[in-house]
Structure 1
Amino acid sequence: MYIEGKVSIIVPVYNAENFLNRTVDSILAQTYENWELLLADDCSTDQSRDIMSSYTDERIHCFYCEKNSGPAGARNLALHHATGQYIAFLDADDFWLPQKLEKQISFMKKGNYPFSFTSYEFADANAVRSGTVAHAPERVGYEEILKSSTIAPSTAVLDRNQVDTALIYMPEKVRLEDAATWMQIMKTGITAYGLDEILTIYCRHKGAYSGNKLDAVWGKWKLYRNVEKFSFFKAAYYVCVNTWAAVVRRL
């Protein structure tokens, strides 16, 4: 059904002309070469599409949303075309270190892990690394993901031989679509395993969708209330715990 050992890398693109080259180049520099890159443009109004089409590597494939669908819609479009055993996500403004896939796939094979993630370092919009690191814990299950948004999308890899592809499709029109996806996977009993090594650089910049802190808190509230169907007080508890964990992670 899937090509064994192949990694399908999914990158949603929206007005990413300032950093898309850096992101794609970090994939081209990977020491693990059995991959395909699925770029899904979400109706960009800048030069993102031109940048996407400028790459001639046969492993790179471009797809285009018919209407603006948000990060989840773009990722789902790409996932529909994925052929690899492994699904990896990378945001268009982040980038990987060269041994990211090699080390992470080896880690997953050695432990027979269905779902893994890595530590990451924060950087600014110019990719200047800050020295602030979000370390990956040893493992994360459903209860842990409720309390802390530990798994950054750009660090995640899933093995479709062990995780149903239907669970990887992200709910659309949900503010924290990645966290919602991890939750729907983990509710089946699947655990994610952390590789505590900096292999991803998470770039923060003005205008980033994930950078609005108040919006993020509101998104967590709606996630717990509308998606997880928690009571008012249970949702409030997890919003507080999760928000505090996010503050600590950035110290």
Structure 2
Amino acid sequence: MANPFQLSVVIPNLNRASSLVRAVLSVRDDSPDAEIIVVDDCSDADLSAEYACLQDIGVRVFRQEVRRRGGAARNRGVRHASGTHVSFLDSDDVWMPGRHDRIRRFYGVPGTERTVLVSGALLHVNGEIRKPHQPLWRPGSALVDYVYRDMGRVQTSMMTLPIEIARACPWDETLRVNQDTDLAMRLDRLGIGFHIDSEPGIIKEESICPGRLTTGTETADLSHAWYRRESADWSPAARSGYHLQDRVWRLADSGRRREAFAALARSLCPPVSLRETLRRALCMTVRPQLYERLRESYRARVQVPRAVDAVQKAAGETWRVLDARAHSFCAVAQSGFGQRGQEPASAAVEAA
């Protein structure tokens, strides 16, 4: 007899306090019975107060003794998970109400034992909730074609899978970038199925932030090295899509504009989306911040109504409320931690 459904949620963290608490609270609100595991990747910041308070509400917290990046943190969380299924959530993203029930219903259907559930996503961009295009899965399509040719999203915080599969096919701990696509491609090659959920299950943080781990000057080269290693059997359209969706913006963010425009030209052989190609060309020409201002100015001038539906409005309110609660949680944690009499840095984490 199969074990009853139990969900574990693994959240890696590095130096984040308020956004981590926001992520945890979003899961706890929707999934009071879910096991939440936070793995600290050897943060420089002392988060002992926040971690102690998170443990008080039932969160399991582990700390890496040396920094080993997100893949290793997720693998450690999977090793300690006691659930039948595991979801991953980045520490700056938000879990949306209703996701737990959709996951449980999906895996209650016979035949889903070897399937990855990919939840839909909304985007949080500089205070605005946006709804990205998520294409339909083409029957028989390879995962890499769906991600790069069709421009589909299969990202870390969107994935849920049976725990046995997560343990049999761990995250590549050597990768700093492209970790989610790499894992999904390996699962696809092993014959693991994918189901794309049309309902948003997360709000993904995609605000412009120079300090994000995926935007360092060397990540363009790290990503391209991964691409050269993996792309021998990719379709021509998937290779074009990689350059359009990955290489162009990494080079542009690194200040390597000439190489970025060369990558944009490469993405036309063959073209996968002329509209996206033009958008990225304009964004690189005028720089992202000015592009956003021009975009808003154009909308106001021609009176283009912003397409915001009820789901986006509710998501925006969810984000704002969680953000306020997280700041309050951290303030209380900091003010009360001195009375606990605990040692800093590692007192509030479980033993390895």
Place the TM-score, normalised by the shorter chain, in its bin. Answer: 0.7 to 0.9
- Max radius of gyration: which structure? 2
1:119 touches 1:196 (CA, 8 Å); kept in 2? yes
2:123 touches 2:132 (CA, 8 Å); kept in 1? yes
The offset of 1:101, in angstroms, is: 1.5
The aligned counterpart of 1:203 is: 205
CA–CA distance in 2 between the matches of 1:229 and 1:112? Answer: 31
Are 1:42 and 2:44 matched, yes or no?
no
The offset of 1:97, in angstroms, is: 1.1
1:122 touches 1:133 (CA, 8 Å); kept in 2? yes
The offset of 1:223, in angstroms, is: 2.0
CA–CA distance in 2 between the matches of 1:183 and 1:214? Answer: 25
User: Gaps (5+ residues) in structure 1?
Assistant: none
Distance 1:45 1:214, change over 3 A: closer
Residues 73-112 of structure 1 aligned to structure 2 (within 5 Å): 73-110=72-109, 112=111
1:23 touches 1:95 (CA, 8 Å); kept in 2? yes
The offset of 1:27, in angstroms, is: 0.9
TM (norm. structure 1) is: 0.82
Moved more, 39-48 or 234-243: 234-243
Residues 126-205 of structure 1 aligned to structure 2 (within 5 Å): 128-135=127-134, 137-138=136-137, 141-142=142-143, 143-145=145-147, 147=149, 148=151, 150-160=153-163, 163=165, 165-167=167-169, 169-174=170-175, 175-205=177-207
SS at match of 1:20: helix
User: Gaps (5+ residues) in structure 2?
Assistant: 250-275, 281-352
One-letter code of the match for 1:74? A
CA–CA distance in 1 between the matches of 2:166 and 2:39? Answer: 22
The offset of 1:47, in angstroms, is: 4.0
Structure with bigger helix share is: 2
Q: Deviations over 1:4-54 (max 9, x none)?
A: 311111100001123111111101101x44310110000112243431221
SS at match of 1:11: strand
Distance 1:230 1:85, change over 3 A: same
1:118 touches 1:135 (CA, 8 Å); kept in 2? no
One-letter code of the match for 1:199? G
One-letter code of the match for 2:22? R
Distance 1:194 1:149, change over 3 A: closer
SS at match of 2:51: helix
Q: Deviations over 1:138-184 (max 9, x none)?
A: 476434346446211111100236x36221x1111212112111111
SS at match of 2:84: strand
| Aligned Cα root-mean-square deviation (Å) | 3.1
Structure with bigger strand share is: 1
The aligned counterpart of 1:7 is: 7
SS at match of 1:195: strand
The offset of 1:130, in angstroms, is: 2.6
One-letter code of the match for 2:84? Q
Q: Percent identity?
A: 18
Q: Deviations over 1:211-247 (max 9, x none)?
A: x297665444222323x2628xx69864431343578
Distance 1:93 1:194, change over 3 A: same
CA–CA distance in 1 between the matches of 2:94 and 2:135? Answer: 17
Number of corresponding residues: 241
The offset of 1:116, in angstroms, is: 0.7
One-letter code of the match for 2:14? Y
TM (norm. structure 2) is: 0.60
